[in-house]
Structure 1
Amino acid sequence: MKKVSVITVNYNQPQVTETLLKSIAEHNKYQALQIIVVDNGSREDPIPYWRKKYPDHTFLRSEINLGFAGGNNLGVSLADGDYLFFVNNDTEFTVGLVESLVALMDQHSQIGMISPKIRYFDQPQVIQYVGFTPMDYYTARNKCIGEYETDEGQYDETTGKTGFIHGAAMMVRKEAIERAGLMFESFFLYYEEMDWCERIRKCGFEIWVEPRAVIYHKESVSVGKKSALKEYFMNRNRILFIRRNGPPSSKYIFYAYFAAVVFPRNMLRYILEKRSDLCRQLILAVKWNLTHNQNSTELGYPVHKIK
């Protein structure tokens, strides 16, 4: 039996994280499981309490917020599983989730990454994710398959390759990580899993989805839908993703599209919403890409202000 290391990251949400741990205890039957919880610089350190309450789990803490990629990468340092299952702390397991993903990984050695079907926790019959279409590198757009549809089993026979996994729940083969490396931490939030998919795919692995495995996701618990943090990293990282992964022939078309369409459209929307703070974040996001190398580790955002 292959060992699975479950890695989740907590940031100022100890009760949300404990609910995840409870759902794993209640629904998981897979025996060879290691559970790793990373506290990502929370204001109050929950780990001393957790070590007493969950003595069979592994905990480690960063004194600063390392972002999604950095927090998960820290968890990898203590993972000894053959497969690493990265799950958001605002998810909840279902029966057979781990077994279904492991079965496919065991059967198909070419799978480097795989995600289950994701449903919205508050609307448990509504799909959030059951795969991604390929990326359009001219616009940096793709489509989340099944999103907002009522789940009537219409995708349950579509197990196989997909454009990208979903960062809320992704099982990754250890060998793929050893060959492609860890997530690029400069993304901090957003696009890091898509960048990782591209690097793992370039190492000869495939990206799959298993719709018959289900996890529930409490969307938007961590970051506000209109926060300065989100607007900065979504815009900055969209450009950065293309810089790092786009074919040379498409990059300049994307840059022209962003300058002529995306930038003025977003600025107008922010102005109409009376959000001058978001106008500033968009300008900073573009400026960062103009002044930094695509492999730069500088975030261009005051991490100490992230609450």
Structure 2
Amino acid sequence: MSFPRVAIIILNWNGWKDTLECLESVYQIKYPEYDVIVIDNNSEDISIEKIEDYCAGKIKVDSTFFNYQDKNPIKIFKYTNTEVENTKLPQMDNINSINSQEKLTLIKNDKNYGFAWGNNIGIKHALKNLDIEYVLLLNNDTVVDKDFLTELVDVAKNNDNVGFVGPKVYIYNDKNTLQVAGGAKVDLKYGEVDEIAYHQLDEGQFDHFLEPDYIGGTCILCSREVIEKIGMLDPTYFMYWEDADWCFRGRKHGYKSVYAFKSKIWHKYGASSDTPFKMYYFTRNRIYFVKKNNTRREFLRFSIFILAVTLSKSICQLIFKRDLKMSYAYLKGFFNGIILSDNSTDIKV
């Protein structure tokens, strides 16, 4: 088979231990044509130094998923986000001659741009400076199977009108339990998401073709053609719902989201505690997403519903938990979501 070149974009923020395990698993895949791009979202720890030490062979990664492989030093192409956005990078002329397992592009952002724009910086760099046909967004807290990328690309190439492809995602600490089969279904009436195969033991019941409403951002493959037509991730989201929005935008242009059940990864997924920061963005972005993808009449109905939900949650936080910050986060998220305007036209490549 032919092997279209893929840019694998990994976003890091204060998570170098996870990133190194992810990188080592990626460098052991069987797929021969790829470029790894690590975007550091202005980490406040020693992530940059640790990634450089790993590439120099100074850190051996321990994992229950693979045995560390000694390899030649990995050549780092290191830039700032300003450099990759504003200039033509002369070193890129030499990158094609280096084996996939022996190169890494490291882009240091000057601030935390969130999931959406952080990844967009990598996408823009890949499309401008690398001769790639696909972009893969991969969470840094994942470990991948050796054939995961081969299977993703195979599904993307051999099915019509495919916009986004996602793998079978297992829970890292429970290797045979699924987090999600590709993605999720969305109820636009209530702005609710139902992840396919959520926390189910894998007994082969999802080993078949599926078309979710969207592919989860943990691991999502998209072609250059699709990105050039529909644009990148909407940075308004910052975090949460941006993956669903991307796939829905693709669907409006006739592109499907598809689940590649032979592709497997493991995700360090857990029930993290809620914070005002997270609740603000989740509430705001839920409303913003429904507004962008529904009719005015349906959005008006949803607004009444979500106002009741928001007030109920805010009052409960205030009265029963005495948490003023969380209560305020719900209300602020609601009102900001209502007034946000659609910025999709600003994210063309």
Mark yes or no: TM-score above 0.5. Answer: yes
Return the index of the structure with the highest Cα Rg.
2
Cα shift at 1:289: 2.8
2:136 pairs with 1:65: no
Distance 1:294 1:276 in 2: 30
2:266 pairs with 1:216: yes
Contact kept in structure 2, 1:131 and 1:163, CA below 8 Å: no
Match of 2:5 in 1: 3
Match of 1:101 in 2: 152
1:115 counterpart letter in structure 2: G
Matches within 5 A, 1:93-242: 93-157=144-208, 159-220=209-270, 224-242=272-290
Distance 1:225 1:179 in 2: 38
Match of 1:301 in 2: none
Distance 1:134 1:24 in 2: 29
Contact kept in structure 2, 1:176 and 1:203, CA below 8 Å: no
Cα shift at 1:38: 0.2
Go from structure 1 to structure 2 and tell me whether the alpha carbon gap of 1:282 and 1:214 turns closer, same or farther (over 3 Å shift): same
User: Secondary structure of the equivalent of 2:175?
Assistant: coil
Between the two proteins, what is the percent identity of the paired residues?
26
2:114 counterpart letter in structure 1: G
Contact kept in structure 2, 1:132 and 1:142, CA below 8 Å: no
Unaligned runs of 5+ in 1: 298-307
Unaligned runs of 5+ in 2: 57-73, 76-102
CA displacement 1:218-257 (0-9 Å, x = unmatched) = 0259xx4211211110000000101111133311110111
Go from structure 1 to structure 2 and tell me whether the alpha carbon gap of 1:33 and 1:296 turns closer, same or farther (over 3 Å shift): closer
User: Secondary structure of the equivalent of 1:98?
Assistant: helix
Question: Size of the alignment, in residue pairs?
Answer: 292
User: Secondary structure of the equivalent of 2:261?
Assistant: strand
TM-score between both structures, scaled by the size of structure 2: 0.79
2:167 counterpart letter in structure 1: P
Cα shift at 1:211: 1.7
1:43 counterpart letter in structure 2: E
Go from structure 1 to structure 2 and tell me whether the alpha carbon gap of 1:204 and 1:249 turns closer, same or farther (over 3 Å shift): same
Match of 2:122 in 1: 75
Distance 1:231 1:273 in 2: 15
CA RMSD of aligned residues (A): 2.0
Cα shift at 1:175: 0.6
Contact kept in structure 2, 1:39 and 1:45, CA below 8 Å: no
1:61 counterpart letter in structure 2: K
User: Secondary structure of the equivalent of 2:203?
Assistant: coil
2:275 counterpart letter in structure 1: S
Distance 2:11 2:184 in 1: 27
Distance 2:183 2:218 in 1: 13
Contact kept in structure 2, 1:137 and 1:247, CA below 8 Å: no
Distance 2:122 2:236 in 1: 17
2:341 counterpart letter in structure 1: N
User: Secondary structure of the equivalent of 2:108?
Assistant: strand
2:332 pairs with 1:284: yes
Distance 2:183 2:37 in 1: 28
Distance 2:155 2:340 in 1: 40
Cα shift at 1:177: 0.5
Match of 1:304 in 2: none
Distance 1:58 1:220 in 2: 29
Go from structure 1 to structure 2 and tell me whether the alpha carbon gap of 1:34 and 1:276 turns closer, same or farther (over 3 Å shift): same
Distance 2:196 2:322 in 1: 33
Cα shift at 1:123: 0.9
User: Secondary structure of the equivalent of 2:4?
Assistant: coil
1:165 counterpart letter in structure 2: I
Distance 2:217 2:298 in 1: 25
Contact kept in structure 1, 2:9 and 2:138, CA below 8 Å: yes
1:274 counterpart letter in structure 2: R
Cα shift at 1:201: 1.2
Residues 33-42 or 106-115, more deviating: 106-115
